[in-house]
């Protein structure tokens, strides 16, 4: 049997950057400055410029980017935040940790994202904010969502954890709403070698507040304005991100090329993701009957896959009381049919062709 095609090979993804990553570590080690130093400052400037935002605040994780972002918006405690019913749990945890109430609306069954119409159905007199999640690397329809938000006077925090560089007609995600939150978890399109996150925004007062919130609520050493967090982007991780950011467009181009190959080669018996120009394919999700059988067949034939996500939020033990008595059939369908095929910077086109041939063989093509 040919060598295994892993779903994810992070060592392989980072191999092209190994020399520069080691040099960056050496530079930070030698600098003797390990918290909020030159690497963090350089990354914040470069990432803001990459996104087309005025400001960037580096934080410890994507979850913290969402939580601090919500905290900084000063939303009334107990207010409702609208999120999609198929998101990763971090979106919901952030809302709860910020003292707010998550209200889920169904995603579109073909784009897997919140739409203006589904969002409108979730708005009540208690709604204070909307959290569109650009799931799998596909932008939500932000122009329509922002129209509704501004008519209803709602804040918008974009969860961009899976959508680095994704755009709508050239405008990057995270710059449509009031705040954009990013994760640099190692598997992300721009991944650190540990946990890391960032917030992008255009408002100067919010920027000052977020810089304080991530650092114990302190704007000036030993003077605390807020009950803050210790959620500073790590200096070593910022150095690694500085090495990889200039290659993000190349990483995205490779993932788009793999997606195009799947799109052309996979049989129509699987539901393939719709492709738009601004998608960045953090994941290549197909929807397929007998998903678990296909997954086992691929594994038997040396191909690793993933499921994003097998347990939808309404079924998570942690949230049972929050969403009890409510139905989310689209999210339930996605959880039982979604299969993520290999798509990373480390995968070759030959490997992808092998995956395509195996999926089609399973389907009887």
Ligand X SMILES: Cc1ncc(COP(=O)(O)O)c(C=O)c1O
Query: What is the nearest approach in angstroms of ligand X to the Cβ of residue 261?
Result: 24
Distance CA 245, CA 126 (A): 40
Q: Shortest gap between Cβ of 159 and ligand X (angstroms)?
A: 5
Considering the complex, state which of residue 239 and residue 313 has its C-beta at the smaller distance from ligand X. Answer: 313
Which residues face 227 on adjacent strands? none
User: CB of 364: closest distance to ligand X in angstroms?
Assistant: 34
State the minimum distance, in angstroms, from the CB of residue 268 to ligand X: 29
Q: Which is nearer to ligand X, 28 or 183 (CB)?
A: 183
Q: Omega before 309 cis (within 30°)?
A: yes
Least distance from ligand X to the Cβ atom of residue 101, Å? 18
Q: Which is nearer to ligand X, 345 or 362 (CB)?
A: 345
List residues binding ligand X (CB under 6 A): 61-63, 87-88, 90-91, 133, 159, 161-162, 183, 185, 195, 197
- Our CB check for ligand X shows the closer of 159 and 338 to be 159
Other C-beta atoms lying within 10 Å of the C-beta of residue 128:
21
Give the residue at shortest CB distance from ligand X: 62
Non-local (6+) Cβ contacts of 338 within 8 A are: 285, 286, 287, 291, 307, 308, 309
Cα–Cα dist 183/163, whole Å: 9
C-alpha to C-alpha distances, 116 to 123, 146, 147, 172, 343, nearest whole angstrom: 11, 9, 9, 19, 29
Nearest to 53 by CA among 65, 38, 36, 35: 65
Q: How far is the CB of 259 from ligand X (least distance, A)?
A: 18
Give whichever of 48 and 68 is closer to ligand X, judged by the CB atom: 68
Q: At what angle do helices 291-300 and 349-362 cross, to 10 degrees?
A: 130
Three-class SS state of 192: coil
Is 194 in a helix, a strand, or coil?
coil
Q: Which helix (H) or strand (E) holds 75?
A: none
157 or 303, CB closer to ligand X? 157
Give residues with Cβ within 8 angstroms of 116, minimum separation 6.
141, 144, 145, 147, 148
> Which C-beta is closer to ligand X: that of 90 or that of 154?
90
Report, in Å, the least distance between residue 51 CB and ligand X.
16
């Amino acid at each position: 049997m040919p060598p295994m095609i892993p779903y994810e090979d992070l060592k392989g993804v980072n191999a092209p950057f190994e020399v520069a990553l080691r040099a960056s570590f050496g530079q930070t080690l030698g600098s003797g400055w390990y918290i909020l130093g030159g690497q963090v400052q350089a990354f914040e400037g470069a990432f803001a410029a990459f996104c087309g935002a005025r400001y960037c605040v580096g934080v410890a994780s994507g979850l913290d980017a969402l939580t601090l972002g919500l905290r900084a918006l000063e939303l009334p405690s107990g207010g409702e935040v609208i999120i999609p019913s198929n998101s990763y749990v971090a979106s919901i945890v952030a809302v709860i940790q910020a003292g707010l109430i998550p209200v889920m609306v169904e995603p579109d069954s073909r784009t897997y994202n919140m739409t203006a119409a589904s969002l409108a159905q979730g708005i009540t007199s208690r709604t204070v904010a909307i959290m569109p999640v650009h799931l799998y690397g596909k932008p939500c329809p932000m122009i329509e969502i922002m129209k509704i938000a501004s008519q209803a006077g709602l804040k918008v925090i974009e969860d961009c954890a899976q959508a680095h560089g994704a755009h709508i007609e050239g405008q990057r995600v995270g710059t449509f709403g009031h705040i954009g939150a990013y994760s640099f978890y190692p598997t992300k399109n721009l991944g650190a070698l540990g946990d890391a996150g960032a917030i992008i925004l255009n408002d100067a007062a919010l920027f000052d507040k977020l810089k304080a919130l991530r650092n114990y609520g302190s704007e000036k050493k030993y003077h605390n304005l807020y009950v803050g967090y210790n959620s500073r982007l790590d200096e070593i991780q910022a150095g690694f991100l500085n090495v990889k950011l200039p290659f993000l467009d190349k990483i995205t181009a490779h993932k788009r090329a793999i997606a195009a190959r799947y799109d052309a080669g996979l049989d129509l018996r699987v539901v393939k993701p719709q492709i738009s120009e601004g998608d960045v394919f953090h994941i290549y999700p197909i929807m397929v009957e007998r998903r678990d059988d296909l997954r086992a067949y691929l594994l038997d034939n040396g191909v690793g896959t993933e499921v994003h996500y097998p347990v939808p939020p309404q079924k998570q033990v942690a949230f049972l009381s929050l969403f009890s008595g409510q139905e989310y059939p689209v999210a339930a369908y996605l959880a039982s049919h979604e299969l993520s095929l290999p798509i990373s910077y480390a995968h070759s086109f030959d490997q992808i062709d092998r995956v395509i041939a195996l999926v089609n063989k399973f389907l009887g093509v």
